[in-house]
Amino acid sequence: MPFLDITVIPVPNANKAAYLEHSAKTSPFFREKGATAVTETWGEDVPDGKLTDFKKAVQLQADESVAVGWITWPDKATRDAAWEALMQDERMAGMDMPFDGKRMIFAGFELVAEN
Interval 11-31: pLDDT, tens: 999 999 999 999 999 999 999
Give the range of the structural domain holding residue 33, as residue numbers without chain letter. 3-110
Residue 115 counted as domain residue = no
CB 11 within 8 A of CB 101: no
Q: How far is CA 30 from CA 25, 82, 91, in A?
A: 10, 7, 12
pTM of the model: 0.92
What CATH number is associated with residue 87? 3.30.70.100
Q: What pLDDT is attached to residue 61? A: 97
Report d(CA 59, CA 43) in Å as an integer: 14
Total structural domains within the chain:
1
Q: Is residue 84 part of a domain?
A: yes
Percent of the residues in the chain that have a pLDDT greater than 90, as a whole number:
90
Which tens digit of pLDDT belongs to each residue from 89-108?
A: 988 887 888 999 899 999 99
